[in-house]
């Protein structure tokens, strides 16, 4: 075991996967010579050469579109989108082709494409470096979505994505790229998609979170210790979703607060609330509450601390639910 940051764990994973499978290649803007703007791909070009760690033209739809053709030629492309909001030009390819091509061939061809990108706010960045776009991806049939919150999961979920037969979008919490450190297994390490993780045990209320909201939920749970025993459920992958873990925790605590950084309307928290309404209504002592970003553009960064879900907002929601 080595203690690594999230971005180091991603780099470690990419080295291990390119070593393991000669059909894996990394492609994206500035991923080669520069090693990525966050250094997630540092060292790959030197070790595996410019054909397996490809500096591409500045062309997100071109990256996603050529990845489809590369997959048809037998490659397993790992595409980096430099930032969350820069991925939107590639949505056309993702929705119209990446998620549909396997179905179109009636399962005859596989499109094992991984798309990884730093996501989320709280980093005092200029406009459009702060988005949480997971809903667009989760809503796209044929595409899976994973979001790690720890260094070990950052490595393990990315490895699972790269090995998956289907396209997987991996959103990496850039806020915690370097601040979250933890033990990461050396060599090959795979965390299967679709298995949630109980980040903290509790009995009165469940805080459902993923990605950068997991450390926040853990802090909120710690601060609430005197008032309530809060469980933190880290979903890890939004599609496939570990419904059993969600329903188990809801049955145990009877109260659920979902924390998501993205705007509220039709966000993933709404899906979680709907599943609980359909399948766990008699287990619940009160409504499922959401703590989310607001339905506005992500704000100027001097206001971002107020916009993003905070310990105070989570605590407020938990108190309202306990008093319900």
Partner 1 sequence: MAQVVPAEAGLQRVIGDGAAPESTVDGLDDPDLLELYRDLVLLRTYDERSVVYQRQGRIGTYAPFWGHEAMQVGAAFALEREDWIFPSYRESAVGLLRGMSPATVLQWWRGHPSGWWNPGDYNVASICVPIATHVPHAAGLAWGKKLRGERTCALVFFGDGATSEGAFHEGANFAAVMRAPLVLFCNNNQWAISTPVEEQTAAAKLVDKAVGYGMPGTRVDGGDVLAVYQATSQAVARARAGEGPTLIEAVTYRMAPHGTADDPSAYIDTERVEEERRNECVVRYERYLRRHGLLTDQLADEIRAQALEVMRASIGVVEAEPPPDLSLIFDHAYAAPPASQAADLAELRRVVGEL
Report the DSSP beta bridge partners of residue 5.
Answer: 181
**3-state DSSP: the chain helix, strand, coil percent, rounded to 5?**
40, 20, 40
Q: How far is the CB of 295 from partner 1 (least distance, A)?
A: 28
Nearer to partner 1, 25 or 217 (CB): 25
Q: How far is the CB of 78 from partner 1 (least distance, A)?
A: 14
Nearer to partner 1, 51 or 323 (CB): 51
| Whole-angstrom distance, CA of residue 138 vs CA of residue 319 | 30
Q: Where are the alpha helices (DSSP H) in the chain?
A: 6-20, 44-48, 60-72, 91-93, 101-104, 134-138, 151-163, 213-223, 243-253, 268-279, 304-307, 311-323
Nearer to partner 1, 247 or 322 (CB): 247
Give the number of other CB atoms < 10 A from CB of residue 57. 9
Catalytic residue among 129, 139, 176, 189: 129
Check binding of 141 to partner 1 (CB under 8 A). yes
Q: How far is the CB of 277 from partner 1 (least distance, A)?
A: 16
Check binding of 59 to partner 1 (CB under 8 A). yes
With CB under 8 A as the contact rule, the residue among 16, 26, 68, 207 that binds partner 1 is 68
Q: Is 108 exposed, middle or buried (0-12, 13-18, 19+ CB in 10 A)?
A: exposed
Nearer to partner 1, 109 or 306 (CB): 109
| Whole-angstrom distance, CA of residue 182 vs CA of residue 150 | 7
Q: How far is the CB of 94 from partner 1 (least distance, A)?
A: 11
Residues 146-185 that bind partner 1 (CB under 8 A): 164-166
Check binding of 50 to partner 1 (CB under 8 A). no
**End-to-end Cα spacing for the chain:** 45
Q: Is 107 exposed, middle or buried (0-12, 13-18, 19+ CB in 10 A)?
A: exposed
Check binding of 30 to partner 1 (CB under 8 A). no
Which span sits near partner 1 by CB under 8 A: 39-47, 57-65, 125-133, 219-227?
57-65
With CB under 8 A as the contact rule, the residue among 5, 11, 41, 66 that binds partner 1 is 66
Check binding of 61 to partner 1 (CB under 8 A). yes
Q: How far is the CB of 200 from partner 1 (least distance, A)?
A: 27
CB 43 within 8 A of CB 217: no
Q: How far is the CB of 175 from partner 1 (least distance, A)?
A: 29
With CB under 8 A as the contact rule, the residue among 75, 177, 298, 307 that binds partner 1 is 75
3-state secondary structure of 32: coil
Residues 92-111 that bind partner 1 (CB under 8 A): 92-93, 96-97, 101-110
Give the number of other CB atoms < 10 A from CB of residue 21. 12
Give the length of the chain.
Answer: 324
Interface size with partner 1, residues (CB under 8 A):
43
The reply to whether 129 belongs to the active site is yes
Burial 83-103 (b: 16+ CB within 10 A, else e): bbbbbbebbebbbebbbbbbe
Residue 245, phi-psi category: left (phi > 0), alpha (psi -120 to 50), beta (remainder): alpha
With CB under 8 A as the contact rule, the residue among 116, 163, 239, 290 that binds partner 1 is 239
Helix (H) or strand (E) holding 257: strand 256-263
Q: How far is the CB of 262 from partner 1 (least distance, A)?
A: 22
Nearer to partner 1, 85 or 322 (CB): 85
Active site residues: 129
Please give the residue ranges that form the binding site for partner 1 (CB under 8 A). 25, 51, 56-57, 59, 61-62, 64-75, 89, 92-93, 96-97, 101-110, 141-142, 144, 164-166, 239-240, 243
């Amino acid at each position: 075991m080595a203690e690594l940051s999230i971005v180091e764990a991603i780099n470690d994973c990419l080295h291990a996967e390119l070593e393991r499978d000669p059909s894996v290649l990394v492609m994206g803007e500035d991923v080669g010579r520069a090693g990525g703007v966050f250094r997630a791909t540092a060292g790959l070009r030197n070790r595996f050469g410019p054909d397996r760690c490809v500096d591409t033209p500045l062309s997100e739809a071109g990256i996603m579109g050529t990845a489809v053709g590369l997959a048809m030629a037998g490659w397993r492309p790992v595409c980096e989108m430099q930032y969350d909001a820069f991925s939107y030009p590639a949505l056309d390819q993702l929705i119209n082709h990446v998620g549909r091509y396997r179905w179109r061939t009636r399962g005859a061809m596989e499109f094992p494409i991984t798309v990884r990108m730093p996501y989320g706010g709280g980093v005092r960045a200029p406009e459009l470096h702060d988005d949480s776009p997971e809903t667009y991806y989760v809503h796209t049939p044929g595409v899976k979505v994973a979001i790690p919150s720890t260094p070990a999961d950052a490595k393990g979920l990315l490895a699972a994505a790269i090995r998956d037969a289907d396209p997987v979008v991996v959103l990496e919490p850039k806020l915690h790229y370097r601040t979250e450190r933890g033990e990461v297994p050396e060599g090959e390490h795979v965390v299967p998609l679709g298995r949630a993780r109980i980040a903290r045990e509790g009995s009165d209320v469940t805080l459902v979170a993923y990605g950068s909201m997991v450390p926040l939920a853990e802090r909120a749970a710690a601060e609430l210790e005197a008032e309530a025993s809060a469980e933190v459920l880290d979903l890890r992958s939004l599609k496939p979703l570990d419904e059993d873990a969600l329903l188990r925790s809801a049955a145990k605590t009877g109260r659920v607060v979902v924390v998501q950084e993205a705007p509220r309307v039709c966000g993933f928290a709404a899906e979680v609330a709907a599943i609980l309404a359909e399948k766990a209504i008699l287990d619940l002592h009160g409504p499922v509450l959401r703590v989310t970003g607001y339905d506005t553009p992500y704000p100027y960064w001097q206001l971002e601390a107020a916009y993003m879900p905070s310990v105070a907002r989570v605590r407020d929601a938990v108190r309202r639910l306990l008093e319900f």
